[in-house]
Amino acid sequence: MANAKVIYFDGRQAVNLGAADKSILLEQYPDAAWKFLMGGDTGSDAAVKRLYQEVAVMFRGVDLRSKGVAGIPFSIYRGKTEIDTSADYQNKLGFWPVPRKTLRLLEMAMTMLGRAYLSKLKNKSGKVLGLRYLIPTTVDYKADETNGLTGFTRSVGAGTKELAADDIIYFWPEDYTVEIGPPETSPAYAALAAGGVLISFDEFAAAFFSRGAVKVTLLTVDGTPNADERKRLETWWADIVNGIKNAFSAKVIQAGKVTPVVIGEGLSELDDSTLAEAKRQEIAIALGIPQSMLFANAANYATAQQDELNFLNQTVVPECEFIAEVLNTQLLAPLGYRIEFHPETMDAFKADEKERASAFASYAGAGLPKSLVAEMLGLDLPGGWEYADLDDKPEAPPAPVLPAAVEPPQGEAPAPEAQTPQPALEAPEQQALTVAALSDLARWQRKAGKRLKEHGSAVCLFESQHIPADVADRVTAGLAEAKTAEDIAAVFANPGALYARKAQAEPDIAPLVAALWGAVAAVKGTADA
Select from 408, 400, 446, 441 the least CA-distant residue to 424: 400
Answer yes or no: are the C-beta atoms of 487 and 457 closer than 8 Å.
no
On the question of pLDDT at 248 being above 50, the answer is: no
Average pLDDT, the chain: 74
On the question of pLDDT at 265 being above 70, the answer is: no
On the question of pLDDT at 423 being above 50, the answer is: no
Q: How confident is residue 252, by pLDDT bands cut at 50, 70 and 90?
A: very low
Q: How confident is residue 99, by pLDDT bands cut at 50, 70 and 90?
A: very high
User: Tell me, what's the pLDDT at 66?
Assistant: 95
d(CA 523, CA 508) in angstroms, rounded, equals 25
Select from 479, 449, 443 the least CA-distant residue to 462: 443
On the question of pLDDT at 319 being above 90, the answer is: yes
Answer yes or no: are the C-beta atoms of 207 and 35 closer than 8 Å.
yes
Average of per-residue pLDDT across 414-435: 51
User: Tell me, what's the pLDDT at 239?
Assistant: 67
**What angle do the packed helices 56-70 and 45-54 form, to 10 degrees?**
90
User: Tell me, what's the pLDDT at 517?
Assistant: 53
d(CA 60, CA 52) in angstroms, rounded, equals 9
d(CA 56, CA 201) in angstroms, rounded, equals 13
Answer yes or no: are the C-beta atoms of 58 and 65 closer than 8 Å.
no
* Residues recorded for the chain: 529
On the question of pLDDT at 237 being above 90, the answer is: no
Average of per-residue pLDDT across 336-356: 81
Distances (CA, A) of 169 to 153, 373, 413: 13, 47, 83
Average of per-residue pLDDT across 268-273: 57
User: Tell me, what's the pLDDT at 140?
Assistant: 93
Which of 57-61, 73-77, 274-278 is predicted with the least confidence, judged by mean pLDDT? 274-278
The DSSP output letter for 27 is: G
On the question of pLDDT at 296 being above 90, the answer is: no
On the question of pLDDT at 447 being above 80, the answer is: yes
Average of per-residue pLDDT across 5-22: 48
**What angle do the packed helices 99-113 and 56-70 form, to 10 degrees?**
140
Answer yes or no: are the C-beta atoms of 205 and 264 closer than 8 Å.
no
User: Tell me, what's the pLDDT at 150?
Assistant: 92
pTM of the full structure = 0.55
On the question of pLDDT at 339 being above 90, the answer is: yes
Average of per-residue pLDDT across 433-452: 80
DSSP 377-443: HT----TT--GGGGGPPPPPPPPPPPPPP-PPPTTSPPPPPPPPPPPPP-PPPPPPPPHHHHHHHHH
Average of per-residue pLDDT across 457-481: 82
User: Tell me, what's the pLDDT at 504?
Assistant: 45
User: Tell me, what's the pLDDT at 300?
Assistant: 60
Parallel, antiparallel or unpaired: strands 14-19 and 5-9: antiparallel
Q: Which helix (H) or strand (E) holds 206?
A: helix 192-210
Q: When comparing pLDDT for 98 and 519, which is higher? A: 98
On the question of pLDDT at 67 being above 70, the answer is: yes
Q: How confident is residue 323, by pLDDT bands cut at 50, 70 and 90?
A: very high
Instruction: Find all residues with CB under 8 Å of 96, minimum gap 6, and list them.
Output: 102, 130, 131
Which of 138-152, 259-273, 340-354, 441-455 is predicted with the least confidence, judged by mean pLDDT? 259-273
Type of residue numbered 452: L
Q: When comparing pLDDT for 342 and 451, which is higher? A: 342
d(CA 136, CA 110) in angstroms, rounded, equals 9
Average of per-residue pLDDT across 418-447: 62
